[in-house]
Amino acid sequence: MSFSIQARGEERVLDTLQMHGFLSQALIITDDNDFFGPSSEDEGSFKFTEIGANVSLRPHEDILLATQVLSRRAGGDGSNARPMLDYGIVDYQMLSNQQRTFGIQLA
């Protein structure tokens, strides 16, 4: 009996799981500022790309865990498109109602 109650609790936690992602490709056209490689008005530069994925989960109604991984390729600054942790957050809300929210956030 206790096993089935635990399984139900885990289902509820997984119901709060959210996953999102994005891809951003820029076209940069400048006159005299080649900050992402050559970007003249004739050709432009496609040398700025970002790809990200984030996940959030509520293991308890007062606690939110969230993280994001980001890969960035930016022509002029030497970035190598290597995925790295962009942010990680633990958000604990001690008091939350329609009038106010009070809590602690660790990043």
Q: What is the pLDDT of residue 27?
A: 87
Of residues 47 and 66, the one with the higher pLDDT is: 66
Instruction: Give domain status of residue 59, yes or no.
Output: yes
pLDDT number for residue 36:
66
- The per-residue pLDDT for range 72-107, each reduced to its tens digit, is 988 766 678 899 999 999 999 999 888 998 999 999
Tell whether 10 is covered by a domain. yes
Answer yes or no: are the C-beta atoms of 47 and 75 closer than 8 Å: yes
Above pLDDT 90, what percent of the chain? 48
Q: How many domains does the chain have?
A: 1
- For the beta carbon of residue 59, count every other beta carbon within 10 angstroms: 13
pTM for the structure as a whole: 0.71
- Range 11-15 average pLDDT: 80
Query: Domain range holding 57?
Result: 2-22+53-106
Strand order of the sheet with strand 45-60? 18-28, 45-60, 63-74, 84-96, 101-106
